[in-house]
Amino acid sequence: MNILFASSEAVPLAKTGGLADVAGALPKALGKYGADVRVILPKYEEIPLHYAEQFELIAEFQVSFGWRNQYCGLHKGTIDGVTYYLIDNEFYFKRRGLYGYGDDAERFVFYCFAVMEAARFMDFRPHIVHCHDWQAGLIPFLLRTRYAFDPAWAYAKSVFTVHNLMYQGLFSMDLLKELTGAGDDLFGWDGLSHRGGASCMKAALEFADKLTTVSPTYAHEIQTAYYGEQLDAVLRYRCEDLRGIVNGIDTELFDPMNDSALHSPYRNSIGRKRKNKLDLQRELGLPESADIPMIGIVSRLVEQKGFDLIAAILDELLQEDVQLVVLGAGERKYEELFEEAARNYPDKAAIWLGYSDRMARRIYAGSDIFAMPSKFEPCGLSQLLALRYRSVPVVRETGGLRDTVQAFNENTGEGNGFSFANYNAHDFLYSIRRALDFYREEEVWKRIVENGARSDYSWNVSAKAYMDVYAELTAHRKENEPWPVIL
C-alpha cells in the first residue's frame, strides 16, 4: 500500500511540536507493516544543510491556484530509510521558522495545490493521502473537487488527522475563495464557512474519507462544545468515520541508554538517572543534590499547556523543597512568569527560553517529576518521553494524558503517574504534593517509576490501528488484485 503523508513538519527536517515527531516516526512504524509511506513537506530554510544536501531535484513545474501561477521545484531524498519530497518555492518558504507570517493562508494553500500537482512527477502513486492538521487540510477538499476526475489521483482516498483542533487555518472567506478559485457553493455552512470566515481544517473534516485524531479521549472530547472549538457539530456528524489512535514515540530516537545529550546513560537505575540531575543542576547553576526532587517542564509556552494553573500556584510550589526546571518558548507573559520565578528563587527555579532538543533530553533525564497540567491535550508526547526517561508525569486528565497516564493508587500499587480532573490550580498543586510525598518514600517511588517503565509507548500498536483505517478505505479491493496503473 502506498501512503503519501502530507505534513507541514517532520523530524528530522523541521519541527515546532509533536506533529513533527509523529510525521517522522509513524512512517517508519507503518513500513514494518509493509506500507510504502513517503512524506511531503515544504522546503523550509531551516531544514539542516546536511539533510538538504541529500535531496535531488526531480521536477519543476508551475502550480496554478486561483489567479496565481507559481513555480514549484520537487526534491526527493531518503533519510533513515524514509523517502521525503520537498516542495520548493523560495518566495513562500525561504524564511525564518515555519509559521506565523501574514501570508500563511497563501503559503499553505500553495503547498496543498503543489502536493496535488507533485503526484504527477513521482515514481509513486499514492493509494491514500494522509493529511495532518490545517496546513494540509485543503488536500482532501481538492481531491473531491478540482482533482476529482484527475488521472493522477484516480482511486486515491484521503485520511485526515486532527493533531490540534484549535489551530483551524481560519481566514477571510474572500481570501480563501480567491486562493482556491473554488465556487461559492463550496463556501456554505456545509462547506468551508466557519466562524464568519472560512477554515482549511473544516474543509478536511468535511471532505476527508476518514478522520482520525491522536487519542481516544480527544476523539470524544472534540465532539462536545467545551473542546469542540465550534467544530463539534461537524465532528458529531462524522463520528462514524472518526477514530482516536494514541500517538507513540520513536523509542530508538529517545533512549536514555543511548542519548548523546546525556553524560550518564541509564535505563532502570534511579541512581544512574540522578547523575543526570546533578549534571543538569551544574549546567543550570542550581544547588547540586541528588535528593532534591526536580520538576521538569518542556513545552510550548501557550495557554493550552495549563500555564495559567502553574502561574496561580507557582509561589506556593516554590515554598516546597523542590527544584523547577523549565524549557520553553512561546507567549511572552509565560516567559516572564518563569523569568521572574528564576529571579526570586535562584536556588529553586531555572528557565531556558527557546527551542533546544539537547536541553529537552537533559530535562527529561534529569527531572524526577514531569508537570503537564494541560487545559486540553490531543495526545501529548512529552509525558511519553518523560515516562521513557523515567520521570513521573503529573497531568490533568484530558485527551491523551488521560489515555496514557494512570494515577498511582497506593492501595493496589498500580499507576505510572499522578493526575487530577478539574482545571483547577490547587487540584494541580495537590497532585504535585502527593507526588512529592511519595518521592520521599523510596520503595514506593521505585514502584511508580517501574510501572512507567513497563508501559509500551512505542508505535507498534498504533501503527497497526492506522493500517486498519487504511484497509477499511481500500477494503473493496480483492486480495492480491494489482493496483491500477494509469499512464
What residues line the site for ligand GLC (CB under 6 A)?
Answer: 17-19, 22, 163-164, 214, 247, 377-381, 400
Interhelix angle 200-207/104-118, nearest 10 degrees: 40
Q: Which candidate, 42, 288, 4, 304, places its Cα nearest to that of 157?
A: 4
Question: Binding to ligand ADP by residue 291, rule CB under 6 A?
Answer: no
Stretch that binds ligand ADP, among 28-36, 182-190, 298-306, 448-456 (CB under 6 A): 298-306
Query: With respect to ligand GLC, which residue has the nearer C-beta, 37 or 214?
Result: 214
Which of 316, 357, 414, 468 binds ligand ADP (CB under 6 A)? It is 357
Spatial strand order of the sheet with 170-171 comes to 170-171, 197-199, 193-194
- Is there binding between residue 356 and ligand ADP (CB under 6 A)? yes
Residue 123 in grid coordinates: 515514481
Residue number, 366 or 400, with CB nearest to ligand GLC: 400
Shortest Cβ distance from residue 9 to ligand ADP (Å)? 10
Reference 337, options 288, 381, 303, 365; nearest CA is 303
Please report whether residue 328 would count as binding ligand ADP according to CB under 6 A: yes
**Residue 371 binding target from ligand GLC, ligand ADP, none, CB below 5 to 8 Å by type:** none
- Minimum CB separation of residue 384 from ligand ADP in Å reads 8
CB of 283 to ligand GLC, least distance (A): 27
- Distance (Å, rounded) from C-alpha 456 to C-alpha 458? 6
Residue by residue, DSSP assigns 105-168 as HHHHHHHHHHHHHHGGGSS---SEEEEETGGGTHHHHHHHTTTTT-GGGTT-EEEEEES-TT--
Task: Count Cβ atoms below 10 Å from residue 262 Cβ, excluding itself.
Answer: 24
Shortest Cβ distance from residue 453 to ligand GLC (Å)? 21
Name the grid cell of 182: 473554488
CA gap 319, 341 in Å, rounded? 12
CB atoms within 10 A of CB 254: 20
- As measured in angstroms, the least distance from the Cβ of 245 to ligand GLC is 10
- 430 makes contact, choosing from ligand ADP, ligand GLC, none, with CB < 5 to 8 Å by partner type, with none
Interface with ligand ADP, residue 21, by CB under 6 A: yes
Please count the residues of this chain forming the interface with ligand ADP, following the rule CB under 6 A.
19
Under the rule (CB under 6 A), what is the footprint of ligand ADP? Answer: 17-19, 21, 298-300, 327-329, 355-357, 360, 379-382, 385
